[in-house]
Amino acid sequence: MSSVQLLFETAKSARERAYAPYSKFKVGAALRTKGGKIIAGCNVENAAYPEGVCAEGGAISALILAGETEIAEVLVMADAALCTPCGGCRQKIKEFAGDDVKVHIANLDEVKKTFTVAELLPAGFELNEKD
């Protein structure tokens, strides 16, 4: 199974577990770490909107919990034509991924489009200059 297919299946499974009783809009995310681990996240809504968690943010929290700090590839899935990460999640992904890391956007059937982190967030916030 290719890495994209593994990310797709992992995100699909995560999406099915999402907690979205208010919007009914479930999102799943999966990322591959530089160490080769596959980590998933799903959106979790809260009645005190907007205090929920995006799928990408959940996956990144799990990444850190797993002892990893570098993202090699990302896939985000929703039942939508094109559900790209929100601005906050783009910045979260940038914190742990290089500009050339691929972010695949999928509906429930297939990957619809692939971006790099730099394409999604061309002028992201940085505290320190990179060499």
Quote the pTM value.
0.95
Average pLDDT of every residue of the chain: 96
119: Cβ–Cβ under 8 A, 6 or more apart, which residues? Answer: none
Positions annotated as catalytic residues are 56
DSSP result, 22-53: TT---EEEEEEETTS-EEEEE-B--SSTT--B
Which H or E run contains 102? strand 97-106
Q: How far apart are CA 63 and CA 122, in angstroms?
A: 23
Q: Residues 67-114: pLDDT tens digits?
A: 999 999 999 999 999 999 999 999 999 999 999 999 999 999 999 999
pLDDT band at 128 (very low <50, low <70, confident <90, very high): confident
Domain limits, the chain: 3-120
CATH architecture of structural domain 3-120: 3-Layer(aba) Sandwich (3.40)
